[in-house]
C-alpha cells in the first residue's frame, strides 16, 4: 500500500463499490483504493468499553506498518447502535489531499443518460405512524425524565434504472460544496452515500474541533422569506433548548480530555442548500499523555466517546435510546452513525451520518430524522424530515417529487 499526495482529488470522482472508498470535507480528502484490512468489531460506547475495538485497530495498523506503510489510514462507517458490527477498511492505496476550493466547481463525469424515474415509493414508518410516535414521545416527557428523543424515518424508492454511485457522489459534492461527502461500500453490497453538514469531531495533533447541529428549518425560495425563517430559528425557544442539550453533553464528555475547551455561549446559524441549522463550534487542546510512553488520544476514541450525541439520539442517553427502540419500528443501521477516517497517528475526521442514503442496483433507502422535545408538533416534525430528504433527492434528480 502506498500513501500519495494527489494534485486534484475531487475532480471527476470515480467510485467502484467493491474497491474504492471516499471521504471529503473542506479540510481534507481521503480516497482509498483496494482493501487491505476489514474491521467489523463493534465500537461500543464509552472509554472503558472500547478496549477490544481499539486493540483490533492498533493491531491492524501494526500489520500495515510491518508491510512498510509509514502511516496507515482507516476509513469507513460505524452504525448508530455501536453494539452492531462496524464497517471499517484499511485500503491498499490511499490518496490524502488538502482541500482545493476550485475543484468543487469543475466536476465532470456525470452520466448523460435518461433521468431516473420513480417506480415505487414507500415511507417507513408511514406518515400517520411517525406522527403518532412523535405524540407518544412528547407524552413521555410529561411522566419521565426524558427530555429529547430523535425519531427518524426511511424513504424507500425503486427506480427505473440502476444507480451510478459515482454520479450521485459527484452531484452531492457539486450541490453541497461545504459538506462532508462520503461513499463507503457496505457488507450487504450496497453503497453508503451522503453529504453530511455535521462534524462530530476532527483532530490534528492536539487540536480538536466538534461542530454539532441541532434545531433546523427549511430554506425558502425568496430571500426575504429565507431570512425571516433563519432569524426565527435563531430566536426559537424550542430549538435553542434542543440545541443546548447537545452542546452541554458534548462539552461534558470532552472536558476531561482537554487542557483548553472553548464553548460559545450561544449558537450561530449555518445553512445548506435545503436547510438552516443552529450550530456551535467547540474547539479544544487535548491534555498531553500522562507519561512519555503513553499513547496519545486518537480521534476515533474521542468520536466513540461522543457518539451517539443528543443531536441524533436524545437526552438522557439511556432513556432516549430506549424510546427510539420502542417508537421507531426499524433498525437505523449506519444512519445517524458516524463516517470518516483516522490515521495511525491519531489524526482524522468523523462526521455524523445524516443527509445520506444506501444505494444498490435500482433500490434506494434515504434517511431523515427530527429532534423531538416537549414543544414539538407532529406535523412540523414530519415536515422537517421531508425537508431534510431534499439533499439526497436533489442528487438523484428527484427534487420535491420524491416526498410528495
Asked whether residue 112 is assigned to any structural domain, the reply reads: no
> Nearest CA to 328 among 191, 138, 188, 134?
134
In order of 184, 245, 262, the CA distances from 252 in angstroms are 31, 11, 12
Asked whether residue 110 is assigned to any structural domain, the reply reads: no
CATH code of the domain containing 371: 3.60.120.10
Structure confidence by residue, pLDDT tens digits, 46-103: 555 668 899 999 999 999 999 999 999 999 999 999 999 999 999 999 999 987 544 4
Residue 148 known to be catalytic: yes
Asked whether residue 281 is assigned to any structural domain, the reply reads: yes
Which is catalytic among the residues 60, 95, 140, 148?
148
**H or E, element range at 98:** strand 87-98
Asked whether residue 113 is assigned to any structural domain, the reply reads: no
Q: Is the dihedral of CA 210, 215, 219, 220 positive or negative?
A: negative
Which is catalytic among the residues 198, 249, 328, 349?
198
Asked whether residue 108 is assigned to any structural domain, the reply reads: no
Q: What gap in Å lies between CA 149 and CA 382, rounded to an integer?
A: 14
Asked whether residue 364 is assigned to any structural domain, the reply reads: yes
β-strands 180-185, 148-159 pairing:
unpaired
Buried b / exposed e over 206-230, threshold 16 CB at 10 Å, is: bebbbbbbbbbbbbeeeeeebeebb
Paired with 32 in beta bridges are 21, 94
Give pLDDT, residue 44.
79
Q: With helix as H, strand as E and coil as C, how does 347-393 read?
A: CEEEEECCCEEEEECCEEEEEEEEEECCCCCHHHHHHHHHHHCHHHH
Give pLDDT, residue 293.
62
All residue ranges of the chain with pLDDT < 50 are 1-18, 101-112, 401-404
In a 3-state reduction of DSSP, which class is residue 127?
A: helix
**Preceding peptide of 316 cis, ω within 30°:** yes
Domain hosting residue 300, numbered range: 3-102+118-403
Give pLDDT, residue 2.
40
Q: What gap in Å lies between CA 378 and CA 38, rounded to an integer?
A: 41
Asked whether residue 107 is assigned to any structural domain, the reply reads: no
Sorted by sequence, the CB contacts under 8 Å of residue 255 that are 6+ apart come out as: 261
Asked whether residue 109 is assigned to any structural domain, the reply reads: no
Q: What gap in Å lies between CA 73 and CA 347, rounded to an integer?
A: 9
Give pLDDT, residue 48.
55
Give pLDDT, residue 110.
44
Give pLDDT, residue 399.
75
Q: What gap in Å lies between CA 23 and CA 341, rounded to an integer?
A: 8
Into how many domains does the chain fold? Answer: 1
Amino acid at each position: 500500500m502506498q500513501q500519495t499526495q494527489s494534485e486534484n482529488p475531487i475532480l471527476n470522482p470515480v467510485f467502484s463499490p467493491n474497491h474504492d472508498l471516499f471521504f471529503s470535507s473542506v479540510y481534507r480528502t481521503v480516497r482509498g483504493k483496494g482493501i487491505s484490512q476489514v474491521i467489523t468489531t463493534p465500537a461500543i460506547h464509552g472509554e472503558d468499553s472500547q478496549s477490544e475495538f481499539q486493540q483490533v485497530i492498533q493491531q491492524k495498523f501494526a500489520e500495515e506498518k510491518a508491510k512498510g506503510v509509514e502511516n496507515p489510514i482507516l476509513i469507513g462507517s460505524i452504525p448508530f447502535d455501536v453494539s452492531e458490527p462496524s464497517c471499517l477498511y484499511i485500503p491498499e492505496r490511499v490518496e490524502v489531499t488538502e482541500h482545493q476550493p476550485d475543484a468543487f466547481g469543475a466536476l465532470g463525469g456525470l452520466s448523460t443518460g435518461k433521468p431516473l424515474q420513480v417506480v415505487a415509493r414507500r415511507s417507513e414508518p408511514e406518515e400517520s405512524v411517525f406522527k403518532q410516535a412523535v405524540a407518544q414521545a412528547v407524552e413521555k416527557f410529561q411522566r419521565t425524565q426524558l427530555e429529547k428523543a430523535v425519531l427518524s424515518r426511511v424513504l424507500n424508492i425503486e427506480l427505473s434504472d440502476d444507480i451510478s454511485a459515482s454520479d450521485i457522489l459527484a452531484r452531492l459534492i457539486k450541490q453541497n460544496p461545504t459538506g462532508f461527502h462520503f461513499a463507503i461500500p457496505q457488507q450487504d453490497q450496497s453503497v453508503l452515500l451522503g453529504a453530511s453538514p455535521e462534524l462530530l469531531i476532527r483532530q490534528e495533533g492536539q487540536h480538536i474541533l466538534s461542530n454539532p447541529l441541532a434545531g433546523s428549518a427549511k430554506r425558502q425560495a425568496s430571500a426575504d422569506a429565507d431570512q425571516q425563517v433563519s432569524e426565527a430559528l435563531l430566536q426559537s425557544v424550542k430549538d435553542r433548548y434542543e440545541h443546548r442539550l447537545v452542546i452541554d453533553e458534548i462539552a461534558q464528555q470532552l472536558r476531561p480530555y482537554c487542557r483548553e475547551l472553548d464553548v460559545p455561549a450561544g449558537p450561530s446559524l449555518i445553512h445548506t442548500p435545503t436547510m438552516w441549522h443552529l450550530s456551535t463550534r467547540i474547539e479544544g487542546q487535548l491534555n498531553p499523555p500522562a507519561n512519555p510512553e503513553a499513547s496519545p488520544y486518537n480521534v476515533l476514541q474521542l468520536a466513540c466517546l461522543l457518539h451517539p450525541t443528543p443531536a441524533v439520539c436524545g437526552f438522557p442517553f439511556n432513556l432516549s435510546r430506549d424510546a427510539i427502540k420502542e417508537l421507531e419500528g426499524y433498525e437505523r443501521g449506519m444512519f445517524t452513525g458516524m463516517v470518516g477516517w483516522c490515521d495511525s497517528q491519531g489524526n482524522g475526521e468523523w462526521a455524523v451520518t445524516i443527509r445520506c442514503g444506501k444505494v444498490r442496483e435500482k433500490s434506494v433507502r434515504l434517511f431523515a430524522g427530527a429532534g423531538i422535545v416537549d414543544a414539538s408538533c407532529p406535523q412540523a416534525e414530519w415536515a422537517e424530515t421531508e425537508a431534510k430528504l431534499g439533499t439526497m433527492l436533489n442528487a438523484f434528480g428527484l427534487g420535491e417529487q420524491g416526498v410528495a
